[in-house]
Structure 1
Amino acid sequence: MRRTVRNLADGREILYFDDHPDAPGRTAVDTRDLPRNETASQIRRDPLTGEWVALAAHRQTRTYKPPAGLCPLCPSAPGRPTEVPESSYDVVVFENRFPSFSQHATGPVEPGLVPVGPGLGRCEVVCFTDRHTTSFGELPPSRVRTIVDALADRTTSLGALPGVRQVFPFENRGDEIGVTLSHPHGQVYGYPFVTPRTALMLTTAEAYLAEHGRPVMGDVLEMERSAGTRVLFESEHWTAFVPAAARWPVEVHVVPHRQVPDLPALTEEERDDFAELYLRVLGRLDGLYDRQLPYIAAWHQAPVSTGRDLAWLHLEVFSVLRTADKLKYLAGSESGMAVWINDVTPEDLAARLRAAPARYGR
């Protein structure tokens, strides 16, 4: 892989990650006339839950479902400059033009019943390919490996920025998820706080370790591999399974056999192995209803400086599609009380995924 760093017209950073060192040089210049990138995003702490909420009103003007010919994530073409100045690329990462968190965020720090502070952090867009009409599951393993390396690179870089306490890489896919740009892409968020989900998982892991002397994910992994009823695929370094207490009608966890805190800690062999296994998972997910499954793929990593001995890196892939043409809506119990009610048993889902055709031939 080759890494090249450039800048866009408004000063934002753009990074090219090429599959091969001998790829064309990345020298194209962004010719657009753009104002300097600034943001007034703010965070406020809810006194009733202790959770931080981000306010980013400038995101109301972000690009919303443009036609394919005006996609800002496609390569630039004569007379049609985009967010990517080059005429082609393998993997590209750039600072989000409409970020929830930014290193440019300014504003007062106000203590009190509802503490307030600037939304200091960073949000990046990760384009997986320059092909507009493909999907992650159709990429070759070599490209998935480049993406993993890029996400590991961004985890390290964002984690070193002032104010960033947690780095979260993820992919949203499908209209049903709320995706507003259909080009295959993901994002990386650098949060100025530890997210509620991660904080809860670390608290649970700490209590389990104190009681049993073992990491909870290690015991979950051993249980799933021994039972086998919810396992989809196993490889030398990873296991993909439907969790026993799945919240979503389609939910798969992809877990390394070795406890590591984050993507940068994976070995070369573990990264190669993940690329092969994850494509098998995506092939079955899209084969489940014989259509591209709308999903969110969320990497759970350790925070930058806390809980790193407790966390166990894993990827959670889930979908709101409960049948081929029916969505799961978050109703009162889920949205109001965070008590999940799943219409699909994990054992049945695992059996249907194992029996599903591999849509991409894997």
Structure 2
Amino acid sequence: MSEGIAKLQSQLDSYAPNSVWTIAVFENPSFYAHFSPLRPSYKAVFEKYTLGDVMSRIVKREKLDHTYQEFYGCNIRLTEPYEESQTGERIRTIYYPIHNKQSLEALVAIDIKDSFIDLQVQKYNQKYETVLNVDGTDNIYHQRVRLPCSDGQYFGIGIHYVDILKKSIIPSLLIAFLVQLTRAFVRRHGHYIKHDEMTGFYRRDYYEPKLKRMQQFSMLIIDIDNFKQINDSFGHRKGDDVIRESASLIQKLIRSGDVAIRWGGEEFILLFNGMAQHDLQEKAESIRAAFSEQKTAGLAVTVSIGGVFQTDSTFGRCYKAADTALYESKHRGRNRVTIA
């Protein structure tokens, strides 16, 4: 374990030099944990816990018990900044849960100094001669940005009027460029909040609240057949290529106003506005046939599809009906369409 933590420490130091505060590994369940470094204050506090206390407290607070289902890139958690009472250091913690067969076996906790974000902005300012600041007061421009993989976590980026005065010799066009650069950064970050990085589809956590407010559904659930065998036989990199090219093919087969969501690892949800039930059947068949008639990432890949057409209903009921239809397609031999 010590050798593994040392390698992790070395890798993290290359990305965040002088910013990694502590690395800890908690096994589940156990009376012990691995710390690097083992600070006296940590040892004193940890010795007061009983079996599973640390794990249960962190897992419940950070909602880590089902992160193995989060295939869209956020199976880690980043906490808000807080101050360690024993050391006075202001830090954020990155939690990485390790699951085996849906059971939490261990938890890696990495404490990063909160000043790491300020250092990155300072480096950016030095490199590009800008005057951006983080959570500054009396800014003439201020934009709140959400940190990825955090629960409602935001930090502010802005430009202070004093810094503008100090840079008054810089032409006004350059100042305008800095403002536009900040806005472009926020827009790009907003795209990543809404969309899955691998497929470009909407992320489940972003779009699911919208689904719960809907009452009419013309919906398909698409699942790549035998995807686990693809990963086992050709490796996860090939599996990623299959997901990426599958999403690209689906995108070409739907309308610009249709909604595509990456629901799980190899499962997608499509929503069609104003599409009749018989048209939904035809659309599902065209998608299924498109996969059957060509190779995906160099492999013969097929999909099973379950669909539902309902009005004046809820997403929960419609999803259950579509998922049952998908199961029926799988049960009947895969590479099939079933509309409830």
Please, what TM-score do these two structures have when normalized by structure 2? 0.30
More helix by share: 2
The structure showing larger relative contact order (alpha-carbon pairs under 8 Å, at least 6 residues apart) is 1
Q: Which is higher, the Rg of structure 1 or of structure 2?
A: 2
